[in-house]
Structure 1
Amino acid sequence: MPVSDEDQAYVRALVIHEDSAVLAFNKPSGLAVQTRNVEDRTLDRLMAAFARSNGKRPRLVHRLDAQTSGVIVAAKTQPAAAALSQAFAERLVSKTYLALVTGSSFPNVETEFSMALSRHIARPGLELMRASRPGDQKSQSAVTRWRVLASNGHAHLLAVEPLTGRMHQIRVHLSLEGRPILGDPYYGGAGTLKGEPVPRLMLHAASLEIPHPTAGGHIVINAPPPADFVDVVRAAGLEMPADLALHAR
């Protein structure tokens, strides 16, 4: 399907990194990566804006939930796609997200949360994740690490690292911990803040470290939080840290 001039400008404005093998975007909340509806505007279909003269286009090598914003990477060549897909499969990448949760005081220590997850049909057409139960098919181990970046006693901005890559992992693990992400209706997150609607899921993929498929070594791609994320953080009475230092280890 051809990409309109408007869509070309739109997707090119999302680019935050480009080299001979890798193309990275700061995806906004609400833009799906893929859907079954051929009429939907998705990031995958917008890859046609970067097609070469032979028709080949970049290939996305991982996914983000539609309502999650942040960094997502495509490979510009087939060898790069194979190398990056293998890196994700073998967990050779490091991902750090920002999440805003509410509730009582949050321990200001790094926490590693481990709980196996299973898919289940919440209602026709809606598949979610839950803590695995006896008899669940295809239970998957899942581990998530988080630490507090900013807190005021009732709102908490977290840096979150999924050490495994399960569907909705961060969302369900924080919910199981009793700290659902603000704006997450599927896992118990509040839909309002101080009486005002929360316009989005407050989860942002802020940083991704990957092995470069051709140059060797690792590259870190950072995606600044968008205005709609920062505005809700400020409405919660917090400020974004000046230096997130997401990859400090």
Structure 2
Amino acid sequence: MKIIYSLFVWIIFGLMTAFLTVCGMPFVIIGKNPFFMLARLWSKISSKLFLVRYEVEGLEKIEPDKNYVFMGNHQSYVDIFSMISIIDKDFLFMAKRELFSIPFFGYAIKHMGLIPIDRGESRESLKSLFDAAKKIQEGYSVLLFPEGTRSEDGVMLPFKRGAFTLAVRTGQQIIPFVIDGSYKVMKKGAFIINPFRKVRIRFLDPVSPEGVKDREMLDIIRARMEDAQKELGSIGAGK
């Protein structure tokens, strides 16, 4: 049954993504950009399709008139539409460059202003950080997964330093968050979707980067996230 359900969900998911992208194209042509609004609709429908149950804490810590660098752990592709549907604020991701080649989806994320990152070349990765810094200066919030990829079993992977270099140099407040359970909905590299799973998300207190070096900030954020992950009943936070 899970195979049939998963096949159904992926077909509807693909058709919905294509439909919403096509709906947004004419507005781009006339100089409007509806893709933030469409992304939120896409995310809420996706959450229903995947039958995800959310338990969210700490949203009150996000002030609507402020911009932030959101940083959290990454367990599944489910995290993407989960965060867009939960955070009531326009923000940008840094997404791996290959995603921009996906038909319809790549067009949509390009016009949302998402920042492509090439993990294989350090010079290109550095350029992506500069692009993200520019977006922050233009008044956008940015969401980063400092692990750089999804965890296969929910254990936090080592953090990459670049995300913290970006946050420290822009001076933007960081809001750490912890996701627990999304890997149980859909594991890395898996086709099968496990419905009716609970995904717990906790937003932590904002952290100011003022006067803190990027390596120190990495240690501070990691320690807070590990503590929160343990409190949420996770399997534990690996180094």
TM-score by length of 2: 0.27
RCO higher in structure (CA 8 A, sep ≥6): 2
More helix per residue: 1 or 2? 2
Say which one has the larger Rg. 1
More strand per residue: 1 or 2? 1
